């Protein structure tokens, strides 16, 4: 199986968790409809306030990279950047072995 996986973590500045969550959910709706997206999940982190995990699986890295060009995604990134705690770091790439839902 040659799927591409990525897991990232974003934390909002105090009081901006709900807003960041809304932005991430909007982004998930846009990119989940693009070519090659198999899963795009936004989760909260129970023991970290205003913190989110983004887990995504794609047919290829190229499909993932192209999803960032989806109309509206750049605008959402610009909305999120000012309310992030620190600079976003590149997500962890995952070696996908297989499993249900891919």
Asked if residue 1 has pLDDT above 70, the reply is no
- pLDDT tens digit sequence for 75-86: 999 999 999 998
Average pLDDT over residues 43-65: 93
Asked if residue 59 has pLDDT above 90, the reply is yes
Edge-to-edge strand ranges of the sheet holding 4-11? 37-44, 51-58, 4-11, 92-95
Question: Distance (Å, rounded) from C-alpha 57 to C-alpha 93?
Answer: 10
| CATH number at 4-95 | 3.30.70.100
Would you state the structure tokens that stand for residue 26, as one six-digit string?
Answer: 């909007």
Asked if residue 19 has pLDDT above 70, the reply is yes
Q: Please state, for a pLDDT cut of 90, what percent of the chain lies above it.
A: 78
Residue of higher predicted confidence among 2 and 78: 78
Q: How confident is the model at residue 100 (pLDDT cuts 50, 70, 90)?
A: confident
């Amino acid at each position: 199986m040659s799927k591409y996986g990525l897991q990232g973590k974003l934390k909002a500045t105090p009081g901006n968790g709900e807003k960041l969550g809304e932005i991430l959910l909007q982004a998930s709706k846009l990119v989940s409809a693009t070519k090659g997206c198999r899963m795009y999940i936004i989760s909260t982190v129970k023991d970290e306030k205003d913190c989110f995990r983004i887990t995504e699986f794609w047919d290829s890295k190229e499909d993932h990279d192209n999803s960032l060009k989806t109309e509206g995604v750049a605008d959402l990134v610009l909305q999120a950047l000012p309310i992030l705690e620190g600079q976003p770091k590149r997500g962890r790439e995952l070696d996908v072995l297989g499993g249900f839902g891919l």
